[in-house]
A and B are shown apart, each in its own frame.
Chain A
Amino acid sequence: MNALIEQVRIGRRRAIAQLITQIENNDTAARSAIKALYSDTGKAHIIGITGPPGTGKSTLVNGIAKVIRKSDLRVGIIAVDPSSPFTGGALLGDRVRMRDLSGDVGIFIRSMASRGSLGGLARMTGNVVKLLDAAGYEVILVETVGAGQAEVDIASTAHTTMVVEAPGMGDEIQTIKAGILEIADLLVVNKADRPGSDRTVKALKAMLQMGQSRGYVDHHGKKISVKMSEKDRSDSSEHWQVPVLDTVATDGKGIEELVEVTFAHKTHLQKSGQWFQREKARCRQEIGQLLQTRYLAEIRARVPTTEREKLIVAVAERRIDPYSAVDELFAQTNYRD
């Protein structure tokens, strides 16, 4: 494992691939790998690409990577597809759309199955991002599973999140629902050569204008503050206007501009101090998750299965309630010794 980590540091591709497998399969391996590599991370610009299935995310990633490679930056790509909830198997087909990228040693593509995670990414995607970051990939594109409304994990993984829609996404009501559109730093209407793309662009712009009444608004000549979400509050030091861009990924139309705006967003984050704020938000969430996993493992280790089983039966038989059962479990772990 240590030999593998050394090889990852110098960018050996087979070592990177093998260490990713270990991270995916084994929590203990993930832990030692990240402990060893963490100080080498934090340099990459992490870009999330999300949106409903069939909107052309993979083709867009292909186009974006090609444009970025012109500036010689090394590009890592993580493409997540869903695992079957029944068999655990997965068909990872994103590479089909990325055949143009083959043969370029400055690009590393890895397909990941979601393995039961519901937020649009796999549980280990964040760690694979760190690994590619440590291996020297300067831009990391993370493509989520086809996401509908609630798969928003990417927002806490990426610095820049683009949400990809296609013409005919639904009416305006869809655009004002909570969820995926809220996490966009960039909105992309792909397949813009299809009928109805103007309407989609318009609907998204209208949604964004409605959203502008957040933060400080000019109300009869007086600045008044209105209730803001956490994300807006953190953005308010220098507000980023979410742009709506249209692209035709299959022939490269609009991709140059998209990459330009993506890099402009990075500059905005760095200048406004948001870069570090986002890092902090991500770390807060990550530590929270690790703590949760650790607590659960600890309780499983400290309280015998038979005891836990007794409590579960007691709750099922309505002899005690679930909150009291957890009180009981906590009491039994006896954290003071």
Chain B
Amino acid sequence: MEERIIRVLIAKPGLDGHDRGAKVVARALRDAGMEVIYTGLRQTPEMIVEAALQEDVNIIGLSVLSGAHMALTPRIFELLRLNDMEDVPVFIGGIIPNEDVPILKEMGVVEVFGPGTSTEIIIDSIKDTVLGERTD
């Protein structure tokens, strides 16, 4: 019996205290049949990567509203590399200025979801990324 359940980490790095968006996304992914590991507010990059490692998630979703994405994202990728986890895709949701999006994608972020993105689009994107890329 082989089960194929997508495990997603939803984390909020940085210092802003608004997690409504992250919770809405977490709930939507749950309703789409995924197992969502929700870590709560004010996570350091170290905490996020440690959780992703222990939980063996298929994908990491970061919610950033603070404007600190250009500082936090590179550190998260660095830690993923240090832990041999470069194969774990990362997406970002939140308030990200348009000009930063190509730079984040250059770093390795698979997708950036701005305000107003429907949860269906996020769900489809995760399914494409995870089920399309991993062949284990």
B102 is an interface residue with CB less than 8 A from chain A = no
Contacting pair B54 A26 (CB below 8 A) = no
Minimum C-beta distance from A247 to chain B (A): 22
B84 is an interface residue with CB less than 8 A from chain A = yes
Contacting pair A14 B36 (CB below 8 A) = no
CA distance A88 to B53 in the complex (A): 23
A69 is an interface residue with CB less than 8 A from chain B = no
Contacting pair B47 A99 (CB below 8 A) = yes
In the complex, which of the residues A13, A87, A90, A103 contacts B47, with contact meaning CB atoms closer than 8 Å? A103
Q: Contact size class for B?
A: 20 to 34
Q: Name B residues whose Cβ lies closer than 8 Å to a Cβ of A.
A: 1-5, 7, 26-27, 29-40, 43-44, 46-47, 50-51, 53-56, 83-85
A268 is an interface residue with CB less than 8 A from chain B = no
Can you list 21 A-B pairs, Cβ within 8 angstroms, ordered by A?
A13-B54, A14-B84, A14-B85, A17-B54, A21-B56, A26-B2, A84-B31, A87-B30, A87-B32, A88-B33, A89-B29, A89-B32, A90-B36, A92-B38, A93-B38, A95-B37, A95-B38, A96-B38, A96-B40, A99-B40, A102-B51
Q: Residues of B contacting A17 with CB < 8 Å?
A: 53-56
Contacting pair A92 B84 (CB below 8 A) = no
Q: Which secondary structure dominates chain A's binding surface? A: mixed
Q: Which secondary structure dominates chain B's binding surface? A: mixed
A165 is an interface residue with CB less than 8 A from chain B = no
In the complex, which of the residues B36, B44, B56 contacts A92, with contact meaning CB atoms closer than 8 Å? B36
CA distance A89 to B29 in the complex (A): 8
A328 is an interface residue with CB less than 8 A from chain B = no
A contact residues, total (Cβ < 8 Å): 30
Q: Name A residues whose Cβ lies closer than 8 Å to a Cβ of B.
A: 13-14, 17-18, 20-21, 24-27, 83-84, 87-93, 95-96, 99, 102-103, 108-111, 113, 115
A97, closest chain B residue (CB): B40
